[in-house]
Amino acid sequence: MTTYMVGLKLEMRNKVLTIEAEDALVAALKIKLENPEARITYVRKSNQRGDRRHPHEALQHTRSA
């Protein structure tokens, strides 16, 4: 499985979530099931080098644990 970064807008706040899925569409649908009121803004493959340099909120918490 591949790791995807899914950007979404929930009310007035932007979030980025990391999820493992078979493809980008499945990743977006999994996030939409968890957050039906959210708007998906983008889905991309996780970039290990870039994500380590500029970690998203979800990755910052997993690295420090």
Tokens matching residue 37:
């009121």
Domain range holding 30? Answer: 2-64
Asked if the model's pLDDT at residue 47 lies above 80, the reply is no
If one compares 55 and 25, the residue with the highest pLDDT of the two is 25
Asked if the model's pLDDT at residue 65 lies above 50, the reply is no
pLDDT digits (tens, 9 = 90+) for 24-37: 999 999 999 998 99
What's the mean per-residue pLDDT of the chain?
A: 82
Q: Percent of the chain at pLDDT above 70?
A: 72
β-bridge partners, 8: 15, 40
* pTM confidence score: 0.69
Question: How many domains does the chain contain in total?
Answer: 1
Q: In the sheet that 2-10 helps form, which strands lie side by side, from edge to edge?
A: 13-21, 2-10, 39-45
